[in-house]
Amino acid sequence: MKLLLFSDLHLDTPFRWAGRKMARQRRLALRQTLERVRDLAESENVDALVCAGDLYEHDRVSPDTGAFLREVFGALHPRPVFLAPGNHDWYGPSSLYRQVDWPSNVHVFAQSRLSAVELTDGFTLWGAAHQAPANTDNFLDGFQAERGGVNLALFHGSEQSELPYQESGKMPHAPFRASQIREAGLDHALLGHFHLPKDAETHTYPGNPDPLEFGETGERAAVIVTVAPEGTVQRARHRVARSEVHDVTVRLDGIRHSGQVGDRVAEAVATLSGMVRVTLEGEVAPDVDVRTDGLDRVAPHLDALVARLGTVRAAYDFTALAEEATVRGQFVRDVQAAAHLDDDTRRRVLVTGLRAFDGRTDDLEVR
């Protein structure tokens, strides 16, 4: 039995970190990724395509997205498609899942408890749906797969036993423990919710197939899960994202004028493609005006370039300044002599004061 698993595509997500034009491009890229998932299902001749939730964003989804999904999944007919709604695409009275006239090969799990579909003789798929955006209970509590052969689960939930793995900012939904999978008589669980990919002995998180924000790590992919007659699985990840997203730190140490900021950024992203976020770091001459405005123009080959200030410091020579017979020099000497200040606070006070002396208070963050 060969299944193609994906989850957490989040069609129609707002991409609030992006401008309007870029956000439209990102939403289009997500659609193209789903088309590539479909094409992979066909080229690999899988027995079924399965989605473990968060296919789309309930609060933003449009009828156009419904028509798009119907066309994409219908193109796989008669190959079956199984959809298990998550907390972002939850199944309810106003759900897109209920509004679309799905082709006969598409099955949407609509119950808040695991229900069975026979994939083929000896292979059963158990799926469930979130019916609200929050507070969904553990699907495995009190559940037993009372069928012979191989039993697989498909749902959107938070595996809780490996706390270091939990993603920051991710609320637990339908929380469960990995040990419950075998206790419930299941051979393997195909899961959504965590965007960080994970292949465990009893479960698989494919992760989101196309990056939704900068800083995401791990191999984004759809996963071909091959299930043996005895219930063991082999997994192969296939990149399906159309877009590339990169995070790059650009060091500004030693630059003497603002024009060199763009030069450093252009050099750092010259070999990259797709979308890049650059974080500016380092110590610059006090007179350098470091701003992120207009930096996107230095890399016209990219789909988008987003720049932000990290720890950018003015490289003052405090020793030389302390020797000046000026009000500024006296200020430096007084701060250096203040015994109650720790080193970090002393530096912040010095830089803030010196910037005030220079009449500059809005271009460099004091760190």
Per-residue pLDDT at 227: 97
CA distances from 259 to 71, 289, 297, 307, 355 (A): 50, 9, 13, 15, 20
Calculate the CA dihedral of residues 323, 324, 328, 330 and round it to 10 degrees: 50
What secondary structure does DSSP assign to 219-231, as a single string?
A: ---EEEEEE-TTS
Summarize pLDDT for 245-295 with one digit per residue, the tens: 889 999 999 888 888 999 999 999 999 998 899 999 998 887 788 888 889
Judge contact between 270 and 242, C-beta under 8 A: no
Q: Is the dihedral of CA 118, 90, 176, 233 positive or negative?
A: positive
Per-residue pLDDT at 208: 95
Per-residue pLDDT at 361: 61
Helix, strand, or coil (residue 264): helix
In what order do the strands lie in the sheet containing 233-238? 106-108, 81-83, 48-51, 2-6, 222-227, 233-238
* Assessment of whether the complete model's pTM goes beyond 0.85: no
Q: Maximum Cα–Cα distance for the chain, whole Å?
A: 91
Per-residue pLDDT at 169: 54
Per-residue pLDDT at 362: 60
Tokens of 95: 């759900």
Do strands 245-251 and 81-83 pair parallel, antiparallel, or not at all (unpaired)?
A: unpaired
Homologous superfamily (CATH) of 2-238 is Metallo-dependent phosphatases (3.60.21.10)
Listed residue (21, 44, 82) closest to 240, CA to CA: 44
141-144 long-range contacts, Cβ below 8 Å, gap at least 24?
A: 141/176, 141/180, 143/113, 143/114, 143/184, 144/184, 144/185
Residues counted in the chain: 367
Judge contact between 240 and 209, C-beta under 8 A: yes
Residue stretches of the chain with pLDDT short of 50: 163-166, 364-367
Domain limits of the chain? Answer: 2-238, 245-358
Per-residue pLDDT at 167: 54
Judge contact between 66 and 99, C-beta under 8 A: yes
Per-residue pLDDT at 363: 54
Q: Which residues contact 249 (CB under 8 A, 6 or more apart)?
A: 278, 279, 281, 310
Alpha-carbon span 76 to 39, nearest angstrom: 9
Residue type for 172, please? P
